[in-house]
Structure 1
């Protein structure tokens, strides 16, 4: 089984002067969940090369067993430091695609035409497409085969407005994931802030927050079997 992971290349948190990127837990948990089951994983970013880690996800209080494993895993570090360029991968080489979050995707993956076309091709091939936390931002401009927004009429979740308020970035981000999913016609629902919550609708899997990353990966794996 081959799964493509798509990470952000964007590392600027608006005009705050702070850095962002991908959220380590949202990469590490699904990465090991699938890797330990023998899945072959390729990691790509819009720019290729080193994917930026969100410093907020690297603080001592944000560490989990999976992030600790990642930081000791030289092979995984190498993967993150040498990602494939997104324009060099194609849907036909993979069985599924998974997008970890972090705030970065709000800026680049939400409007990256290569990413948009890639998701549309995975969807057209009826292959699993998974997103967690802020990663549903990558669906903002994705269309279904009917030309409507892909999320229209689908059960979806993603980082909540109240969770964004809690991290005090409501006025920094270019848009709110919850609002965007609703505006695109998604049937949005959520659990309590920071609770594990993930939904499947057809081949689309979405998770609410970092705590939901393992559940999304598990649902993705089950869909492949």
Structure 2
């Protein structure tokens, strides 16, 4: 039986300023195509079916539009289950693509916090890229401490948020929050450069350029 991975998408389609948002196209597409040949992948989101894609990411990453047109992907998006209907026990890993959306719903969703905590406490790969680590801020280990505490992590940096002019669109800055939770935050030397960090079962990537690397790290962890 192939191992199973749960991709958890955001259901949020608006930022705090009312701008359109959602999940970020390459951050789902690149890991998916690394992993889909070897693993069973299911999709889930807080509100279930057809989680919204960030329209700006579709325009910016036109080369990845095939993901949205892929019949298997379309079926998975249409069949995405609400988070309350999925169980960590059924999977070997969880992965959170970014986009600003996760900061607006997954970060504060108690159902998601419980789910992410269950993956981590069971020793299962817990992975996220860009703003995806925002979905992990409520997750705790068996002792009740944040799963990022004392662990090496990365994610969309405060500088990158400033550069895209989205500081007012999100309820908190991801880098600052991960540091406040005790995470050992590391980042690429320059904004937009890839950075992937693996600390045991916790796998994080900094930005869209890190997406394929996160997929490869998940594969390596599950193949070990």
Partner of 1:42: 42
Report deviation, 1:82: 2.9
Report deviation, 1:139: 1.5
Correspondence for 1:170 among 149, 153, 167: 167
Paired residues, what number? Answer: 220
Q: Tell me if the contact between 1:25 and 1:63 (Cα under 8 Å) persists in the aligned partners.
A: no
Once residues 148 and 72 of structure 1 are traced to their aligned partners in structure 2, the CA distance between those partners, rounded to angstroms, is 41
The answer as to 2:51 corresponding to 1:63 is no
Partner of 2:111: 114
Report deviation, 1:136: 0.6
Partner of 2:12: 10
Once residues 154 and 80 of structure 1 are traced to their aligned partners in structure 2, the CA distance between those partners, rounded to angstroms, is 32
Once residues 20 and 71 of structure 1 are traced to their aligned partners in structure 2, the CA distance between those partners, rounded to angstroms, is 16
Q: Deviations over 1:83-102 (max 9, x none)?
A: 11111111111111100000
Q: Tell me if the contact between 1:43 and 1:80 (Cα under 8 Å) persists in the aligned partners.
A: yes
Report deviation, 1:159: 0.0
**SS of the residue 1:171 aligns to:** helix
Report deviation, 1:81: 2.9
Report deviation, 1:166: 1.1
Once residues 88 and 120 of structure 1 are traced to their aligned partners in structure 2, the CA distance between those partners, rounded to angstroms, is 16
Q: Tell me if the contact between 2:10 and 2:106 (Cα under 8 Å) persists in the aligned partners.
A: yes
Runs of 5+ unmatched residues, structure 1: none
Once residues 17 and 208 of structure 1 are traced to their aligned partners in structure 2, the CA distance between those partners, rounded to angstroms, is 25
Partner of 1:211: 209
Q: Deviations over 1:96-154 (max 9, x none)?
A: 11000000000110011111111111111111110100011011121111211111100
Once residues 90 and 42 of structure 2 are traced to their aligned partners in structure 1, the CA distance between those partners, rounded to angstroms, is 10
**SS of the residue 1:110 aligns to:** helix
Report deviation, 1:63: 2.6
RMSD: 1.1
Once residues 169 and 116 of structure 2 are traced to their aligned partners in structure 1, the CA distance between those partners, rounded to angstroms, is 26
With structure 1 as the length reference, what TM-score do the two structures score?
0.94
**SS of the residue 1:193 aligns to:** coil
Q: Which stretches of structure 1, 4 residues or more, deviate above 2 A after TM superposition? A: 61-64
Once residues 73 and 146 of structure 2 are traced to their aligned partners in structure 1, the CA distance between those partners, rounded to angstroms, is 34
